[in-house]
Amino acid sequence: MSFDIQQVRADFPILSQAIYKRPLIYFDNAATTQKPLQVINAISDYYLHDNCNIHRGVHYLSVKATEAFEEARKEVREFINAPSTHEVIFTKGASESLNLVAASFGKKFLKEGDEVITTIMEHHSNFVPWQIICGEKGAVLRVANILPNGELDQEHLYSLITDRTKIIALTHVSNVLGTINPIKDIIAFAHGKGIPVVVDGAQGVSHIKVDVTDLDCDFYCFSGHKMYGPMGIGVLYGKEKWLEELPPYQSGGEMVKDVTIEKTTYNELPFKFEAGTPNVEGVMGLRAAVQYLKNLGMEEIHAYEDKLLKHAVERLSAIRDMRFFGTALLKASLVSFLIGDIHPFDAGTIIDKMGIAVRTGHHCAQPLIDHFGIPGTVRASFAFYNTIEEIDKLTDAVSRVKTMFS
């Protein structure tokens, strides 16, 4: 391992507290990650020294804040290897990025009888916006299945493609199953049929080195808060050719070039999609998060988290009656499980009392949970600041739950 875990943990002061008189073990990283001091300091430095509205002022502070904002855009571009900063749009999160694509793409390109393909493993944020726009346009939403191990049924997805398919919306990594989808292959296949692909990367960017140029995706959406940055900031990457064609999602200041009583012309990219005063503090924090991840190295992060995952699977599998959801060959570092028939809320509540934060419920992926016919799962999702010892404590806690209910 090329990073020092104790040094890394020292960057995250929240992790060194005790809850219920036990050291906090934080395994709810798929919901949101903790923030290093570098991110917290970037936000407070911005307010201590540079706070100003951007793009509009000629005075010192406004120019300084604008330059820092646009520098951040360059760093995000480099982080995902987007061809141009024009293709990096700041939003308030993955949900807003996905809503933007569904609403603007749907408005321009969907009509009655058209089809949109998504998958059963999507988070509601990449499902409901498509359901809504399809409903408005009289289009049909087709849903690809999964295989029993939680991998996407690629053959089924391909069989849904017709000459009415206008776009495919799928997740890079499932927030419930951990499955890493072969999005590069799917994008190549879809492009062979002239169909664009929007990727929900909310669970992708924090675990995998993402290269949107190599993937050749048409859109890639993610949130700052799931990659050690602040809440309320996210990114939409879109190919310039699409962003030029899509109508604006919101209107107001900043997204306009010229406004007269008769009509409005729109600003150039990326500003056409950034109406109003942006979340500048969020962008400062996101920039620090990107720098932090770059310093650790995405390959190193992936290798370390994979070790955590393998250890968790090995230890938890040794407990009788464990039921795992999502055992794909290619998986991000999370485990979703039930302990026999114990309700996930009961299990989660007891595990919490042992100082361990896990998530329980449907994880905003109700169609997937319904597919399994279960009330939800317990999900433990790991980050690079977690340790093997913490996973051993989770295993002890799960055993304890099982004993209490037997």
81: which strand partners? none
For 54-185, list the strands marked E by DSSP. Answer: 88-91, 115-119, 140-144, 165-171
CA 115, 119, 125, 130: dihedral to nearest 10 degrees? Answer: 10
**CA–CA distance, 366 with 347 (Å, rounded to integer):** 19
How is the chain split among helix, strand and coil, in percent rounded to 5?
Answer: 45, 20, 35
Torsion of CA 392, 393, 398, 403, to 10 degrees: 110
Q: Does 223 bind ligand PLP (CB under 6 A)?
A: yes
218 binds ligand PLP (CB under 6 A): no
Taking CB under 6 A as the criterion, the residue among 77, 123, 239, 315 binding ligand PLP is 123
Asked if residue 381 binds ligand PLP (CB under 6 A), the reply is no
Shortest separation between residue 363's beta carbon and ligand PLP, angstroms:
7
Q: Is residue 239 near ligand PLP by the rule CB under 6 A?
A: no
SS3 assignment, position 237: strand
Among 200, 218, 274, 281, binds ligand PLP (CB under 6 A): 200
Phi, psi of 256 (to 5 degrees): -110, 150
Residues contacting ligand PLP: total by CB under 6 A: 15
Is the backbone peptide bond immediately before 248 cis, with ω within 30 degrees of 0? no
> What's the closest the beta carbon of residue 80 comes to ligand PLP, in angstroms?
16
139 versus 177: smaller Cβ distance to ligand PLP? 177
CB of 170 to ligand PLP, least distance (A): 10
Q: Does 125 bind ligand PLP (CB under 6 A)?
A: yes
Taking CB under 6 A as the criterion, which residues in 325-364 touch ligand PLP? Answer: 364
Told to check if 95 binds ligand PLP by CB under 6 A, we report yes
Contacts of 128 (CB under 8 A, 6+ apart): none
Of 203 and 377, the one with the shorter C-beta distance to ligand PLP is: 203
Print the binding letters for residues 11-30 with ligand PLP: x by CB under 6 A, - otherwise: -------------------x
Q: Least Å distance between CB 123 and ligand PLP?
A: 3
Instruction: Identify how many contiguous H helices and E strands the chain contains and give both numbers.
Output: 14, 17
Two tokens, residue 292? 């932090």
Distance CA 75, CA 290 (A): 7
What part of residues 24-83 is at the interface with ligand PLP (CB under 6 A)?
A: 30
Give catalytic status of residue 364 as yes or no: yes
Distance of alpha carbon 202 from alpha carbon 225, whole angstroms: 9
Q: Residue 194: which of 162, 154, 150, 237 has the closest Cα? A: 162
Cα–Cα distance for residue pair 261/55, rounded to 1 Å? 24
Q: Does 151 bind ligand PLP (CB under 6 A)?
A: no
- Looking at the Cβ atoms of 93 and 376, the one nearer to ligand PLP is 93
Footprint on residues 156-175 left by ligand PLP (CB under 6 A): 171, 175
Amino acid at 80: I
Taking the complex as a whole, how short is the minimal distance between the CB of residue 355 and ligand PLP, in angstroms?
Answer: 23
Q: According to CB under 6 A, which one of 202, 383, 394, 401 is a site residue for ligand PLP?
A: 202
Using CB under 6 A, list all residues that contact ligand PLP.
Answer: 30, 93-95, 123, 125-126, 171, 175, 200, 202-203, 223, 225, 364
Catalytic residues: 364
